[in-house]
Structures are given as C-alpha cells and as structure tokens.
Amino acid sequence: MVQLSRICFRKYGNFIDNLRLYVRGGSGGMGLPRLGGQGGNGGDVWVVAAKNMTLKRIKDKYPQKRFLGGAGANSSVRALKGEKGEDKEILAPVGITVTTDKGKTLGDLNTEGDRLMVAKGGFGGSMHSAFQPSKGQVRNIRLDLKLIADLGLVGYPNAGKSSLLTALSNATPEIANYAFTTLKPEIGKLMYKDYKQISVADLPGLIEGAHLNKGMGHKFLKHVERTKQLLFVVDVCGFQLANNTPFRSAFEAVQLLTKELELYKEELVLKPALLVVNKMDLPDAEGKLEELKEQLQNPDEFSDLLPDDMIPKNYLNFRHVVPVSASTGFGIEHLKSCIRESLDEDAEMATKAIHQERLQALSNPTFSHQITILTSQCQICLPVPIRYQCSFFPLSL
C-alpha cells in the first residue's frame, strides 16, 4: 500500500494543480523637492489567464517562484513626473482561483484574457509624502487550478471512465486493467456533426473516504466544482478495490459516490447528473441493469445495503440512465445524444432566465422612473417643451 501511494504521488507530480508564489509590487520613485517633482509609481503584479498555459510551465520557467514589479522612475529636472515602473504579468491557465496563504479568495480567472492584480506597486514620492516613495505590496499567493468542463466523470477506480472518455472523445488517457489508471485529470472533447463541442473531464477514481482527503481525495474532488454537470460511471457488475475492502454493487457505488460528493461540498449534488452503467458486454449484465434500475426507483427500500453513515441525505435523480460498453462501443452514440440533450436543456433554461430578468427590469417602476428622469435631462434632444413631474421634484424643459 505504501508502494502504491509513492507511485501515485510521483506520477501525479507531473500534473500540478496548486502553486505558491511570492509577489511584490515595485517601489515608487523618489520625488524632487526643489522643483515639486513627483516620482513614478511602482509597477503592479498581475495574474493573466492564457491559453495553453499550465502551472507546471510556470514552475519550470520560474523555479524561484518570485515575481517583482518594476521600480518607478525618480523625478528629475528632465522629467518632473517619473515614469511608472513596468508591470509584471504571470501567465496562468484558465480556471485558476487566486488565494492568499490564509485562504482568502482574491479572484477567479475563468476565461482567456481575465486579469487580476495580486500586488500593487508603491506610490511615487510627492509633496503629500515629503517626496518620499512607498514600497510595493508584498504577499504570498496560491494559484489553485480547478478544471473547467461541461461534464465531469465521477466514479470509483476501474469503472471504465478512461475507456469511456476515449470512446466518446479525442482524449487518449492511460488505460489498463488495474485500479488506479488515471492519476491526473484528462480533458476530452465530444465533437458533433453540427460542430458543437462539449468538454469532458476524466477525474481520477475516488475511494471511500475521499471527502477526508484519502487517496488524494481533495486534489480530485475540487475539479468537480467547476463542471456544469456530473456524469457518474459505475461498473454494472459492481466493484471491489482490494481483498480487504468490501464488494460494492452498482447501486451501492452510486450512493457512496453521492455521499462522498455531499460530504466534500453539499452543493455538488445539486448539479444535474447522468448515470452511465458501463461494461454491458459482461455476462449477466442485462439482469444486473434491471436490478439497478429497480433499486434507483425505490432507493429507500434498499438503503439497508449501505452503512448508516454513508447513506446520502438526498438520493440523486438522474436525468438519464444509459447502459454502455466502452470497449465494444455499445450505447456510445446514444450517450452522446443524452449528454447533448441535457446540456442544451440547461442552456435553454439559462437563456429564458436572462430574458425574464430583463423583462422584469423593464417593467420595474423604479427603472422606468430613472429612464424618465434621464430623458428629461436631455433637453437638447427634445423638440418641444415637456414638463415632467415626479414625487421627488418637478423637472421642466
């Protein structure tokens, strides 16, 4: 078991999802008292989301992990106003959350080009500071990567997630017949005939107790947070991690996965979810699938199969339960259709919600009143005198 942990750590070390950096804004430039000159402000330090960037590249390129803004120029006879110091940009991958050492969130970078100032440069010397400059802001920050994807694959080791991702998309994760195959997250793209693309994140297999950080639980669970929907993957015949661990049926696996997510962060189980029942090419798969469907329809009747402390507060209602065989390709096209349907349904609901908010804003009396006042102030735009009366004051044009 110790040997396995070392293997996991070493391979996972090639994929970095958390990085600690030292950042310092540049010092301001000296003022010039005899002529009232003002020194330039120090340069700021920014984190900027960039395409095809990884935390490992940052670590390899800047092994000291120190980022300093440029110093502001001193005021001089030739230039009374000193130039601002050069800003320092830290290119980081999309999906970064920037926090302090104490865990305070400074901001998120969710799209390419997003920028966040993490250390402000000092002010240049001026008459207000007796022409003495100030030093730049100094702090340690953490870049915490949480993968952004439309779907996150959730399942126990060897449920067939990597094989499923390969069958669905263009990703090529490692596949083998031992439990811990996926040791770092993989992103695959589902391609449709109308050129629609859907991203799927294959997250390393969870184990019981992942919410307590067992088996690198927190390293993996946090990547589920930014996926729009969850795609549970279970082995139709059940699973046993090791000889000294209990055998879990497909139904038990579903409920234990739900509980792990719930214990880590309860909001996760509110995400829309689909269930993939994999390995339908195995003997007796059809009978076990029917048994699973019956158990999912009446989960309370089968709750005695689970330990009391691992029964979820609320059972998940899956939008689709799709039987597949990732190795033979059975059910893959149907699964892709279900995924597209579920995501399109959410997108349509989100669009309707935005339209509804806009309509409510337009029909809001306060909003209408503000438009009336703004219109009444545009005197030059109105061809004839108009009198506006409101409850606060009269406006005449």
Reported pTM: 0.67
Q: Assign domain 18-145 to its CATH superfamily.
A: GTP1/OBG domain (2.70.210.12)
Q: Assign domain 149-347 to its CATH superfamily.
A: P-loop containing nucleotide triphosphate hydrolases (3.40.50.300)
Q: DSSP assignment of 77-113, as one string?
A: SS-SBPPPPPPEEEEEETTEEEEETT--EEEEE-STT
| Domain boundary assignment for the chain | 18-145, 149-347
Q: What is the pLDDT of residue 157?
A: 79
Q: What is the pLDDT of residue 249?
A: 92
| Mean pLDDT of the 308-332 span | 92
Range with the lowest mean pLDDT among 17-31, 143-157, 376-390? 376-390
Q: What 3-state DSSP class applies to 180?
A: coil
pLDDT tens track for 95-105: 889 999 888 99
Q: What is the pLDDT of residue 282?
A: 92
User: Minimal CA–CA distance to 202: which of 187, 190, 213, 192?
Assistant: 187
> Do the domains 18-145 and 149-347 sit in the same CATH topology, yes or no?
no
Q: What 3-state DSSP class applies to 133?
A: coil
Q: What 3-state DSSP class applies to 16?
A: coil
Written as six digits, the tokens of 376 are: 């009444």
Q: What is the pLDDT of residue 15?
A: 64
Separation CA 378–CA 390 (nearest Å): 16
User: Does residue 324 or residue 363 have the better pLDDT?
Assistant: 324
pLDDT tens track for 130-162: 999 999 999 999 998 877 789 988 888 777 888
User: Does residue 349 or residue 223 have the better pLDDT?
Assistant: 349
Separation CA 251–CA 293 (nearest Å): 9
At 204, the pLDDT band (50, 70, 90 cuts) reads low
